């Protein structure tokens, strides 16, 4: 997706895949990573309630610290009627420095007045191939992982395909993180737990660097190939 100056966007699609697109949009706007950025607030809720909406209403009036905008990303399966009304009041009189992204899997439960205050964007659909690739990657030997990374970043040096490759790399690392968390919750033996935690630390380290527009994705991917322990779900 592309930021076109609207103050609020309704993104309808797979929550995690759509968040990847939103994150890339914000980073393109800011020109830097949003990891730990003081002007980016990310709220994840299964069902957004009135308390969270009121907090967002209070925080959105604060001036940005580093960027020209304060960005609020809400990721939720649903919003209570009370939360929708509170969010509607915020969007009816937004401050000029606030930018909202509401990511939901289905917008049919949202009241029409709330939908009308946002620019609707079709979000990403689930991409099972990334989850499959992540599982395969974790179980592969280093040389096979290196080839996978080489294939993943093909086209990164070409201006016309650079952005698409960056999105692809983001989606893969997101899937890698999700797969590791799934294994962490499913397997409780000490050896697996230690290996998964080491792997998560390496993935998060690379994520912090790969958000840099000047990042060398192949080198970062190769670091993952060599540094992440072999983990099988």
The pLDDT, as a whole number, for residue 14 is 84
> What percentage of residues in the chain have a pLDDT greater than 70?
96
Domain ranges of the chain: 8-122, 128-227
Contact 207, 115 (CB under 8 A): no
Q: What is the mean pLDDT of the chain?
A: 89
Cα first-last separation, the chain: 33
CATH number of 8-122: 3.40.50.300
Q: Which residue has the higher pLDDT, 38 or 167?
A: 38
Rounded to an integer, the average pLDDT of 94-111 is 93
The pLDDT, as a whole number, for residue 126 is 57
| Helical axes 162-186 vs 15-30, angle rounded to 10° | 130
The pLDDT, as a whole number, for residue 231 is 87
pTM of the full predicted structure?
A: 0.61
Distance of alpha carbon 41 from alpha carbon 197, whole angstroms = 25
DSSP 228: S
The pLDDT, as a whole number, for residue 32 is 86
- Do the bridges between strand 70-79 and strand 40-48 make them parallel or antiparallel, or are there none, so unpaired? parallel
Q: Per DSSP, what are the bridge partners of residue 184?
A: none
Contact 141, 233 (CB under 8 A): no
């Amino acid at each position: 997706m592309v930021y076109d100056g609207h103050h609020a966007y309704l993104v309808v699609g797979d929550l995690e895949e759509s968040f990847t697109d939103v994150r890339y949009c914000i980073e393109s706007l800011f020109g830097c990573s949003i990891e730990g950025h003081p002007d980016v607030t990310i709220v994840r809720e299964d069902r957004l309630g009135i308390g969270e909406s009121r907090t967002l209403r209070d925080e959105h009036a604060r001036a940005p610290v580093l960027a020209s905008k304060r960005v609020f990303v809400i990721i939720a399966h649903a919003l209570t009627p009370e939360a929708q009304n509170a969010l509607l009041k915020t969007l009816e009189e937004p401050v000029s420095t606030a930018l909202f992204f509401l990511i939901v899997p289905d917008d049919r439960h949202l009241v029409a007045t709330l939908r009308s205050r946002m620019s609707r964007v079709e979000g990403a659909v689930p991409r099972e191939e990334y989850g499959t690739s992540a599982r395969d990657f974790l179980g592969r030997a280093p040389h096979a992982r290196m080839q996978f990374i080489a294939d993943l970043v093909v086209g990164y040096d070409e201006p016309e395909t650079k952005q698409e490759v960056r999105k692809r790399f983001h989606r893969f690392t997101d899937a890698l993180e999700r797969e590791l968390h799934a294994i962490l919750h499913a397997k409780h033996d000490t050896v697996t737990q230690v290996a998964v935690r080491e792997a998560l630390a390496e993935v998060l380290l690379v994520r912090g660097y790969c958000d840099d527009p000047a990042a060398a994705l192949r080198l970062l991917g190769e670091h993952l190939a060599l540094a992440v322990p072999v983990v099988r779900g």
